[in-house]
Homo-oligomer: A and B are copies of this chain.
């Protein structure tokens, strides 16, 4: 079985994503998670460009990693400057890592317009930088920036830059599609040409500007590259880097390559979501392998077939990558699923058209208003119970009032007052909170706790707000999704309104009612 080394640059190239900014603590956490997943190299940052990165290298040295090697990243020395006098090269040494990654120019256009030096001097810079680091006992990975563009424009010169790096002792030569515009067939052709002329191990570093970074990386491995660079979830400048989560799954499950263990592959989905969270990025539902919808079936015919044989509409078993199969509730999902749901709810339905139609109609009406039940099965259950009069009230709301006040000193206070009846007993409570929704949450709990002490064991784990018709400005409708859990279960609820407080209230109340019904069963 061929082996492929994985090289993660989330902490450096990934941090170039619009919207991403890591603290040193974030970086340390992500590095540990990548090590857990079985990544071989973790690029920690560019110590020469960023003082925060140097701090990372200082702190990570004290940590024990399972197998990952930390790499410091930097450029070749400046034109006509000895590496010994180059600040950037010196900060690479200061980072004190076993492995150093150096990038140099392969494309004559860059040498001319950006470096503004001669083609020969560029070869010299590549050679002297790598040679200097090799003499100081570093393992050197050479990133040949813009290699594919360079090869298309001036193949001989691009090859000469690789040869200079190889002669200086670089351990791996990484071919970079820095602008991300290559198509797969060009990548294949160019790597074949390079392989006839060089025997140093090759790597691939692809960007995604033509939407092919993963395909180009996988093709490169098929053509003999034994080192693959990328970022978690494909983070990176512009359209991002090759997505390491997807590449790893493809290497293991499609090419049968040795890279991470089968047991670690099962951590893939969790790792991907963990990094998204620390990166403060929304995780894409349709993300291959690791997305919330990656194995979610919605079309009626698909659900029908999946019940007969899971291979019919799944390319791999979701458990292999730690993901799970889901069937989605929507007007398209058809009778099979609606009946399945009704059965779960024990509503004692007959499998007749009248009931199914009524539920489908309800779903359509609610979806039309902006509700979505795919992540809010709690609200879906309550809606059906209400529609079929299987619903009992736990309390009657008389009203609430939320006040948010800001004073001259800029201090803001939120207060919520709630009036309700439980078993004909009046309750009138008031609470403050971190914002109006938090105040409401506290006030309703205060009111209900003596009647339903189990509510103390339930808490909110997730709160999401989506503006539905963004163009309506501040009068836009919003959808609020709340995820709650107790010791045993987790459930989602939803609310929709032009008023964000009312939308949050709906989701909040559904969440509490769902808990109370669940406990009674």
Q: Which A residues are within 8 Å of any B CB, using their own CB? A: 15-19, 21, 23, 49-50, 75, 109-110, 113-114, 178-181, 183-185, 208-212, 214-216, 218-219, 222, 234, 236-240, 243, 246-247, 249-250, 254-255, 277, 280, 282, 284-289, 291-302, 304-305, 308-309, 311-316, 328, 330-332, 367-368, 372, 374, 397-408, 412, 414, 433-438, 440-441, 459-468, 470-476, 478, 482, 497-502, 504-505, 508
CB pair B402 A403 closer than 8 Å: yes
- From residue A199, how far is it (CB to closest CB) to chain B in Å? 23
For the complex of A and B, list the 6 residue pairs with the smallest distance between their C-beta atoms, beginning with the closest. Answer: A181-B315, A215-B215, A460-B473, A435-B499, A211-B246, A113-B309
Give every chain B residue within 8 A of A309 (Cβ-Cβ): 109, 113-114
| Measured CA separation A288–B414 after assembly (Å) | 43
CB pair A211 B502 closer than 8 Å: no
CB pair B462 A280 closer than 8 Å: no
Give every chain B residue within 8 A of A478 (Cβ-Cβ): 435, 465
Tell me the interface secondary structure of chain A in the complex. mixed
- From residue A180, how far is it (CB to closest CB) to chain B in Å? 6
Give every chain B residue within 8 A of A462 (Cβ-Cβ): 470-471, 473
| Measured CA separation A441–B16 after assembly (Å) | 35
CB pair A501 B179 closer than 8 Å: no
* Given contacts A114-B312, A435-B497, A435-B500, A296 and B211 within 8 Å (CB-CB): no
- From residue A158, how far is it (CB to closest CB) to chain B in Å? 16
| Measured CA separation A445–B218 after assembly (Å) | 57
Give every chain B residue within 8 A of A18 (Cβ-Cβ): 285-286, 292-293, 296, 298, 328, 374
Give every chain B residue within 8 A of A408 (Cβ-Cβ): 397-399
Which residue from B180, B282, B498 sits with its C-beta under 8 Å from A315?
A: B180
Which residue from B16, B219, B400, B440 sits with its C-beta under 8 Å from A332?
A: B16
Which residue from B110, B298, B401 sits with its C-beta under 8 Å from A237?
A: B298
